[in-house]
A and B are shown apart, each in its own frame.
Chain A
Amino acid sequence: MLKSTLSGLTGRPRAFDGVLEQAGRIILGKEHEIRLAIACLLANGHLLIEDLPGMGKTTLAHTLARLLGLQFSRIQFTSDLLPADITGVSVFERERSDFRFLPGPVFAQLVLADEINRATPKTQSALLEAMEEGQVTAEGQTRMLPTPFFVIATQNPAHQIGTFPLPESQLDRFLMRLELGYPDRTAERALLAAGGQRRRVEELTPLLTPDDLPALQQEASTIHAAGPLIDYVQALIEATRQNPAFLHGLSPRAGLALLAAARAWAWLAGRDMVLPDDVQAVLPAVARHRLRSAQGGGYALAEDIAALIRSVAIP
């Protein structure tokens, strides 16, 4: 990290340093992605991790839940999964002559929705409603989900057979989308030498309690974003609307998401103000799944986002 008086400027307790460090030991060579994932949770947003099977998506989700001390549940999405399998069902109890609601796996602080694109759109939308509303409506009754409530969804790339890609409107519900990608040579070598990492997750001890997190989220959301920085965010959003590389531009909600993510990123760096660097760091994760590339209509290409950054002057 750069030696600058800016980091650590505020003398804030570095609560997340341990989380970053411990997670880095489980998922090797992915510090940037881990940091993004944590920033996403700090900004109170949901996370979509997209990659081929076996790249460590589940391990990452599991590790974060463990380290943040969150109550964790995992839903493996399959093509025959029904909405009730997620939200829960009411069963008749003979003793009480009444229905009792059995909460589904969504009633957890951190829900890992594994391979979300394997399920039918109906089932997907049950989860997405819970993500948006923070509550579940089943059999006419609305039930509040616990706080904090995070969803980390994983997805295999859409070109695989037998999947239902998430529609754009639902992609928008995820604050960030990450790709883990292959580890680099040294990380892979270390991984091979150490054997599978997944069992080591169980050995991790939580570094936070669930009560700590809302306070930290609150703190992160008050990081100062000065006028010139908001100008910059605005310029970037406008540039996506003008840029012929994209079919359409970013929505105002996406702009808010970008700013929130940048704030969390700044907070992680120990600063009390957002810098253009923070915006640039989170922009690909926040914007790519919200844009459509003019070539082929898939997610915006990473190169296009990089070109976008290079086309906007920092005010």
Chain B
Amino acid sequence: MSTPAHEALDRHATPWLFATALATTAPHFMHQPLWLSAVAGAMLLWAVWQWWKDVRLPGRWLLFLLVVGGSAGILGEFRTLFGRDAGVAMLVMFMNMKLLELKSRRDAMVVVTLGYFLLLTHYLYSQSIPTGIWLLAAMWLVTATLIRLHGGPSSRPRETLRYAGVLCLQAIPFMLVLFLLFPRIPGPLWGLPSDAFTGKTGLSDTMTPGSIAQLVQNGDIAFRVRFDGPLPPRQKLYWRGPVMEQFDGTTWHLYKGRQPTAQLESLSPPIGYETTLEAHNERWLLALDAPVALPAESLLNGTLTAISRNPINERKRFRLSASLDYRLNTSEDPAVLRRNLALPASGNPQTRALAAQWQAGNRPEAVIAKALALFNAEFTYTLQPPLLGQHGIDDFLFRSKRGFCEHYAAAFVTLMRGAGIPARVVGGYQGGEFNPLDQYLVVRQSDAHAWAEVWLAGMGWVRVDPTAAVSPSRIETGIANALAFGEPLPMLIQMRADWIRTLRYRWEAINNAWNQNILGYDPQRQRELLARLGLPDTDWRSLAIALGSACGLLVAGLMGWALYKRPEGDPVVRLWHKALRHLARRKVDCSPWETPLDLARRVREQRPELAEAFQRVVDAYLVARYGNTDQHLKTLRDAIAQLR
């Protein structure tokens, strides 16, 4: 173990370093610019080729140029050398460049250290179970490389890997203790760099024809819900997002001004539930209509949307409760009503005409019924509507008659406003998929939905879902059953075979358990756990003490175990058994009563090619074990090392 750092590198150890570089950089391929992966791969291949041919390594100037070129490329791509993406790109680049100057053991140690560091960077992108498994395996490999560089117990890969595996297994208790007891930082531990929150999908605060249809093609999970009681009926599961009151002819917008406070009157007992929201970089909590109790750091705005103080940029868990039947703002502010009657000054003349015709001599309820009857009679529910022209709603209502929920919601609200009924578009999610294995309701991006709300005197804001009139099954059974086969839905949602669904339920239940218990282990959960262990009201000091004592106990336990095991572990015998295992792999088995000399004789007969090397082992073993000296351990070890 005292090999000097500048000692030349063992040629046979180099492939380990290639493997380390590959295992720790390859997964970054998925979220890096292609040119960077190509350059890094080329460096690796170049290094492997040089090793294979035993060619001289590139000179200092060439390496210098490579470093400057690589850094310039990263600077050009990311406009910075810092932050998550640029920083990781630098690490990946330099890891593979380092392979081009593997001269001494010190260079190899740099690769190993970089390898360990690169392991961490993967958590900045993904904390899923497959990532965890991959990184554990990669850590095993990097540790094996480290052992191999220090000579290790033997130069054979299997022994090295076994040794590294034992080391990693021994680290597991410490990992668990640190995980459970290390003081938790509230907030996103793995999302520290500022550019970490880009590229999250979810509802947006505007709606154009086709925007939700596009979102629905994404199978990602939006949030998971567990109800305290039984699952409410599907057709009541409306998860409210942004409420869009302003229309410019094609796009629906949020009203950004001040809203009067919502006056909510609940008509049914509240239903408690816990929701685990995936990051979507917006502030709404997607609460079930109508929210009656909200978590801390959040509020209910005037349009009944539950809003968090900060954008949801990491997975978060909240407790909420909802009243499924309610009355909202029966006495509405006239300014709000005016806003919800406004239509663009021009456009969609046919729609306006139809609305005006309906308005004459009809009560609002009758107008609504006429509109729904219209949708029900002639319209088709599809993800692939034809393109609409300048008068989008006219085109939709009188010509194409094919559309997705946003078309129906937009057309319905336009008709209502034209007929003098205050109306607005509500974005959110509808329904969800109940996983019977872990009793969670999973709501995906494909459950995204848009519906309408109209204001009726004496009743306040009433939800009207025009999609239900076109395609009742969308609301009652979910989107997969509502659309014809062949619509561009996510594959996962379309799979209707039972075994695939069961498999998917299982995988999602495992993932959910992982999210809830591992990734969702926050300061709150830590306090709960410690309280259950009899350590209530922990501050960081008592946590540090608990951590220190747990680690101390572990170390003491392991040492005690090692000391207890020691009498059996005569190194001479261990080495001899190693040699015997080596023989056994070559089909020469030793009986326990067979003397080493007899065994050597038999090896001479059965495996003459091994005889000489094994005779040296036997001689060294006999002297070490039965001789009058204890200084022959090294001779024995060397002799065994030559058994190949």
Contacts and interface: CB of A to CB of B under 8 A. Distances in A.
Contacts of A277: 595, 597-598
A277 B622 CA distance: 11
Interface string B589-625: 0011111111011000000000000010011001101
A210 interface: no
A4 B591 CA distance: 21
B628 interface: yes
A276 B626 CA distance: 9
A4 B595 contact: no
Contacts of B626: 224, 226, 228-229, 273-276
Nearest to B624: A226
A224 B628 contact: yes
A108 B264 CA distance: 128
B69 interface: no
Contact of B594 (A2, A229, A273, A314): A314
Contacts of B593: 309-314
A4 B593 CA distance: 20
The 10 residue pairs across chains A and B that have the minimum distance between CB atoms: A313-B592, A224-B628, A277-B595, A226-B626, A276-B595, A273-B627, A273-B626, A5-B619, A277-B597, A310-B593
Is chain A's binding surface mostly helix, strand, loop or mixed? Answer: loop
Given A276-B595, A311-B593, A314-B592, A2 B600 contact: yes
Interface of B: 591-598, 600-601, 615, 618-619, 622-623, 625-628
B618 A4 contact: yes
B66 to A, nearest CB: 54
A3 interface: yes
Given A4-B597, A273-B626, A280-B595, 14 more contacts: A2-B597, A4-B600, A4-B615, A5-B619, A6-B622, A224-B626, A226-B625, A226-B628, A275-B595, A275-B596, A275-B622, A275-B626, A312-B593, A314-B592
A172 interface: no
Interface of A: 2-6, 224, 226, 228-229, 272-277, 280, 309-314
Nearest to B611: A3
Contacts of B601: 2
A291 B564 CA distance: 40
A272 B619 CA distance: 13
A6 B619 contact: yes
27 contacts: A2-B601, A3-B615, A4-B619, A6-B619, A6-B622, A224-B626, A224-B627, A226-B626, A228-B625, A228-B626, A229-B626, A272-B628, A273-B626, A273-B628, A274-B626, A275-B595, A275-B622, A275-B626, A276-B596, A276-B626, A277-B597, A277-B598, A309-B593, A310-B591, A310-B593, A312-B593, A314-B594
Contacts of A280: 595
B619 to A, nearest CB: 5
Contact of A226 (B591, B596, B598, B627): B627
Contacts of A313: 592-593
A2 B626 CA distance: 18
A311 B625 CA distance: 21
Contacts of B598: 277
Contacts of B623: 6, 273
Contacts of B622: 6, 273, 275
A313 B615 CA distance: 21
A228 B572 CA distance: 12
Nearest to A229: B626
A314 B627 CA distance: 15
Contacts of A276: 595-596, 626
Contacts of B627: 224, 226, 272-273
A227 B597 CA distance: 19
B386 to A, nearest CB: 86
Contacts of B596: 275-276
A313 B580 CA distance: 14
Nearest to A312: B593
A80 to B, nearest CB: 49
B570 to A, nearest CB: 9
Kindly name the residue among B591, B596, B619, B622 whose own CB sees the greatest number of chain A CB atoms within 10 A: B622
Contacts of A6: 619, 622-623
A313 B593 CA distance: 4
Kindly name the residue among B597, B615, B628 whose own CB sees the greatest number of chain A CB atoms within 10 A: B597
A192 B519 CA distance: 93
A314 B628 contact: no
Contacts of A5: 619
Kindly name the residue among A5, A6, A224, A273 whose own CB sees the greatest number of chain B CB atoms within 10 A: A6
Contacts of B619: 4-6
A274 B592 CA distance: 18
A6 B623 CA distance: 8
Contacts of B625: 226, 228
Contacts of B600: 2, 4
Contacts of B597: 2, 4, 275, 277
Contacts of A310: 591, 593
A152 to B, nearest CB: 29
Nearest to B590: A314
A229 B623 CA distance: 12
A121 B100 CA distance: 92
A314 B595 contact: yes
A19 B33 CA distance: 87
A6 B615 CA distance: 10
Nearest to B630: A226
A310 B591 CA distance: 8
A21 B358 CA distance: 131
Contacts of B595: 275-277, 280, 314
A128 B12 CA distance: 70
A103 to B, nearest CB: 43
Contacts of B615: 3-4
B188 to A, nearest CB: 60
A147 B597 CA distance: 36
A314 to B, nearest CB: 6
B605 to A, nearest CB: 12
A178 to B, nearest CB: 22
A310 B625 CA distance: 21
Contacts of A311: 593
Nearest to A311: B593
A269 B468 CA distance: 101
A311 to B, nearest CB: 7
A226 B626 CA distance: 5
A249 B290 CA distance: 92
